[in-house]
Amino acid sequence: MLVNVASAEVPGLLRVNPGNPDASYIVQKIEGIAAVGVRMPANGPPYLPQDRIDLVRRWIAAGAPMSSAPPDRLIVTSTIPAVSEIAAPGLGKLTVVFNANVDSSRASADTFTLRDAADQPVVLSGVRVPVGRQNVVELTTAQPLAAGSYQLAVRLHNEVPGIVVPEPLQEALRDAGANEAEVGFAHARELLAAARDRCAGVYLVAPYRKPLTVLELLS
């Protein structure tokens, strides 16, 4: 999250301060004037060209507006537990983050469907939009969940633009049950090996709160 969220490096500054690009830590980082750390991107140069920096500045100066997508075109941007993460046994709450504000009057157990790793429906006892976080929905389950990824790979395939999870892989993850993580990692290793001769690098996204797990792909 960026807007109205304090910087981890300089807690006195917001990452994005709506209406004030000069007081937004993200602007200071991409312009190379931040008092802490290196200029972003950290692997630069090259750095962002001035026209891109100006675009970020204009967005913040305009109030850092969220997407204006209507409610029936909302897109899930992230979840906690994260995509493909194995949820700890006993989990009773999931958090879903959208690309735009959610109409709280439309958020209910009837508008969300959750299925477990065995493709069985999970009964929800509560669905709410937290105050001050209109793009977030918290799902509370009627019973604690067993470990599993809860078809987040399917959600990734269906709802994140530009990302495709092939049907055979979706079936393999579904059939793997509790061994989903092993199947997913094996496939990821195959992709990394195939990419070595095709591109200069890859972008790895670690599961939520488990950043070191990506090292398993590189071992």
Domain boundaries, the chain: 1-65, 71-152, 165-218
Backbone angles phi, psi at 199, to 5 degrees: -150, 170
Contacts of 78 (CB under 8 A, 6+ apart): 97
What average pLDDT does range 83-94 have in this prediction? 68
Can you give the pLDDT at residue 118?
63
DSSP 85-96: PPBPTTEEEEEE
* Least reliable range by pLDDT among 66-70, 84-88, 172-176: 66-70
Please determine, for residue 188, whether its predicted confidence score (pLDDT) is greater than 70: yes
Residue 61 · residue 24 · CB < 8 Å: no
What average pLDDT does range 149-159 have in this prediction? 55
Residue 69 · residue 100 · CB < 8 Å: yes
What pTM did the predictor assign? 0.39
Percent of the chain predicted with pLDDT > 70 = 78
Can you give the pLDDT at residue 112?
78
Strand 136-145 with 91-98, pairing: antiparallel
Distance CA 87, CA 94 (A): 10
> What's the fold here for domain 71-152?
Immunoglobulin-like (2.60.40)
- Among candidate residues 170, 175, 191, the one with its CA nearest the CA of residue 84: 170
Can you give the pLDDT at residue 201?
82
pLDDT tens-place string over residues 103-141: 888 788 877 777 766 667 788 898 999 888 888 889 898
pLDDT tens-place string over residues 27-83: 999 999 998 888 888 887 888 888 888 888 888 888 887 754 444 566 777 777 765
More confident residue, 210 or 51: 51
In terms of Cβ atoms closer than 10 Å to its own Cβ (0-12, 13-18, 19+), residue 145 is buried
DSSP 13-77: SBSB-TT-GGGBHHHHHHHT--SSSPPSSTTPSS---HHHHHHHHHHHHTT-PPP---GGG--EE
Can you give the pLDDT at residue 25?
92
